[in-house]
Amino acid sequence: MTHTVTRSLPPKLVVSVLTVAAMFVSILDATIVNVTLPAVGTTFGVPATATDMVVAGYLVSAATVIPASGWLGDRFGERQVFLFALALFTTASALCALAWSLPMLVGFRVVQGLGGGMLTPVAMSMLFRCFGLAERIRAARVLVVPTALAPALGPVLGGLLVDVASWRWVFAVNLPIGVLAWMFGALFLVDRGKQAAGRFDVTGFLLAATGLALVTFSLGEAASRGWGSATVLACGVGGLVLIVILAAVELGGAEPMLDLRLFGDRMFRTVTLVSLTSTAAFLGVLYVFPLTYQRVLGASATATGLTAFSEAIGVMVGAQLAGRVYVAIGPRRQLALAVAAAAVAMVLFGLVDAATSPWVVRSILFGMGLAMGNVMHATQTAAFATLPMAKTGVASALFNCGRQVGAALGVAVLSGVLAGPAVAAGSPGVPTLDGYRLACVVAAGVMVVAAGLGLRVRDADAASTLPGVKPESYAAEPAVVDE
């Protein structure tokens, strides 16, 4: 019966629906939580800046499991791994809604991150296996749907739930989507079988998990302990040492969990770095804004969500225009210009104060979203342009790992920067306008770095993703030395 039903819908349709659903719930979960953090802090009697691990804990656990998702998909089959990850994410969402202490909430968020971390790369791998190189722009449009829609709904829905009901409903909203998506996948998703997966890289997994966790914990704790804390320094240095060891082990291993040799591909390496740095700045700003807008400028959770909504509208509009821009000017110019525009928006965003009209704030957020819609589309389209199809699974895992690491580091770093002036003044846990402005400047600086990386992209390398364009069409383009 199941076999007959799975044949009744086109595979591209099934995979597209499940990819949109998976990315929607995982992105919604990240954006909807931000506006609830002050309420979470009040419930558990802790400062708002001490709740950053509710966000960072999810991000770092997702980053930890993403590298293993490629191996898991090959070893057990992408269908089985996807359905398991969706079930884990949905169950953990229910547990988060029932959490009775902050450590328990963070723990359930870590479990939720394990499910969410597997969802996106496995879904992207299935999508790119269905859509060939010539159809990558179509595939990228599919990916942009949840990327644009979830941030649009997240802040508004989160604000309304906090003001009208409770922050616990923020996690409960994942349940109907998760259950329906799981049932749809169980009925219609075709099992494409297992691939040769080799041995699981236990050493690489443990080094990545421990190193990323220590670095993120260090950066997050800097918000309350200060950058000079022995714990912060010890965890940060220890994590970095483990990450360096990880790189050496993975490069020398026969069957690495993280195939870092893929970074030898110029296009994949450069675009992944652009994605990592731009995501760090973007999601870091989206984390510090609700805290400042509510705790410093006195806005309600609903007003904060309605204001942040304009950023998501910008992403949606930018995503609709991005495909035409990509074809017209190529990924190099699109990435460099879009990231630079986002940096300018972040500088302007840092000038916001109590006297600033909400419509000015919304306009700046809209501009930042418009720019990031172009960045997201271009990176998702160009990243795999020069890689063989056989490497799609491991490359998707590595690309998503980079983006997730960027998100975790961005939240942790800007959380520490936001709290810096308060810690220095002897009032830890109290966000200030000076801290917010400094965080926006730091984010803009990271965006400038991302823009510089974007200029290193070669349009000729992305010719396979440009309909009707041959590689030699960009022969006159300045060469970039591949270090």
Closest among 195, 188, 322 to 255, alpha carbons compared: 195
Q: How far, in Å, CA of 415 to CA of 412, rounded?
A: 5
Please give the model's pTM, rounded to 2 decimal places: 0.73
Give the residue from 136, 185, 405, 463 showing the smallest Cα distance to 277. 405
Quote the CA–CA distance of 104 and 7 in Å, as a whole number. 43
Residue 300, domain member (yes or no):
yes
What CATH number should be reported for the domain holding residue 362? Answer: 1.20.1250.20
Total domains, the chain: 1
Distances from the Cα of 456 to the Cα of 268, 270, 331, 378, 471, angstroms: 12, 7, 10, 14, 17
Look at residue 328 and tell me if it is in a domain.
Answer: yes
Q: How far apart are CA 442 and CA 346, in angstroms?
A: 9
- Stretches where the chain sits below pLDDT 70 are 1-8, 30-31, 48-50, 132-145, 147-149, 151-152, 155, 193-197, 220-227, 393, 420-430, 467-483
In a domain, 479, yes or no: no
Predicted local confidence at residue 134, as pLDDT: 58
Q: Which domain holds residue 67?
A: 2-474
Q: What is the pLDDT of residue 5?
A: 43
Q: What is the pLDDT of residue 104?
A: 92
Examine residue 85 and state whether it is found in any structural domain, yes or no: yes
In a domain, residue 51? The reply is: yes
User: Within a domain: residue 430?
Assistant: yes
**282-334 residue pLDDT tens:** 988 887 887 788 778 888 877 877 887 788 788 878 878 888 888 888 889 99
Q: Give which of 320, 327, 321, 69 is closest to 200, Cα–Cα.
A: 69
Would 483 be classed as within a structural domain? no
Specify the DSSP element, H or E, that contains 74: helix 52-76
In a domain, 318, yes or no: yes
